[in-house]
Amino acid sequence: MKTRSERTCALVVCAALAFLFGAAWCSDSGSQAAAPAGARTAPAAPTAASKPAPAGSKAAAPAELTLDLGGGVTMKMAPIRAGKFMMGGGMFQREVTLSKPFYMGVYEVTQAQYEAVMGANPSRYKGPTNPVESVSWDEAAEFSKKLSEKAGRAVRLPTEAEWEYACRAGTQTAFSFGDDPLALGDYAWHGRNSGDTTHPVGQKKPNAWGLFDMLGNVAEWCADWKGDSFGKGPAKDPSGPATGDLRVQRGGSFFNSSADAYRCARSESDYPANRIFSRGFRCAATLP
């Protein structure tokens, strides 16, 4: 009897401890969800269906946007709320505030979209729903300008800060889905699963904010000139240096062999006139 009693006591104590730890974990999880930028847990996706805007943000959640490119071709854009996040990684990390909500392309710009606007398709790996590649930065900017005229709103390349903010989707981990490179294949076409070609957009899992192929498939041009300001102190709506020689590209491509190429913080660059088969772009749009 004594032994059974002791066991009963032990079970009661264990249950109590489990409850307390469980409550503490839940409480901690709850505070992480509302934590400021830098928390490792993803906050709610900034969509019209998500929770109310965080404290301090007076902007209402905009609706998803579909642009008409003509000929039955459209482009979907996801609303991204204003917010703060830690941009970059390691020694090169800074707090960045994006003070205005914006739209981000749900997918990389496809060849059908590019052709509808530019009347040409320079891609090496042909397919109407594959991302356009072999486009220079200048051509990506020209596409955005022409689409702006067509759509009647300001379509542009995302700034590097906007790109990383949208890629992280509230996370502060190496990748938008965590730190485990073994999970990369669920979210990205990369050098070890792509068969050395691009793939139709939107086949892999999206990030927490509903954006596809931010990592892999084609690397993506950003608006910024490459500069040395990356990582220096807090910044509000950074858009890179005023001039430069190189333009930023982000996200890695189907052609990279190292997982390091797909880190959210990884920043690369190239000359704006250069065209390579592993790089394309996606558009952002300013709210009216």
Sites of contact with Ca ion (CB under 5 A): 213, 217, 251
170 Rama class: left (phi>0) / alpha (psi -120 to 50) / beta: left
Task: Kindly state the smallest distance separating residue 45's Cβ from Ca ion, in Å.
Answer: 19
Task: Kindly state the smallest distance separating residue 203's Cβ from Ca ion, in Å.
Answer: 12
Residue number with CB closer to Ca ion (221 or 225): 221
Residue number with CB closer to Ca ion (8 or 258): 258
Q: How far is CA 15 from CA 6, 21, 28, 66, in A?
A: 14, 10, 20, 52
Tell me the torsion sign for CA atoms 182, 184, 186, 190.
Answer: negative
Among 179, 183, 182, residue whose Cα is nearest residue 168: 179
Cβ-based neighbours of 100, under 8 Å, separated by 6 or more: 59, 82, 237, 286, 287
Strands annotated E in the chain: 65-70, 73-80, 83-89, 92-98, 102-105, 155-156, 219-225, 235-236, 247-250, 267-270, 279-280, 284-286
Residue number with CB closer to Ca ion (103 or 281): 281
Tell me the torsion sign for CA atoms 87, 92, 94, 97.
Answer: negative
Residue number with CB closer to Ca ion (195 or 241): 195
Q: Which helix (H) or strand (E) holds 40?
A: none
Task: Kindly state the smallest distance separating residue 206's Cβ from Ca ion, in Å.
Answer: 12
Residue number with CB closer to Ca ion (217 or 256): 217
Alpha helix (H) ranges present in 66-197? Answer: 111-118, 137-151, 160-168, 184-187
Task: Kindly state the smallest distance separating residue 266's Cβ from Ca ion, in Å.
Answer: 12
Residue number with CB closer to Ca ion (191 or 251): 251
Which tokens hold the place of 194? 């792509």
Which tokens hold the place of 1? 């009897």
Task: Kindly state the smallest distance separating residue 91's Cβ from Ca ion, in Å.
Answer: 26
Task: Kindly state the smallest distance separating residue 222's Cβ from Ca ion, in Å.
Answer: 12
Task: Kindly state the smallest distance separating residue 194's Cβ from Ca ion, in Å.
Answer: 12
Residue number with CB closer to Ca ion (27 or 203): 203
Using Cβ positions, the residue closest to Ca ion within the complex turns out to be 251
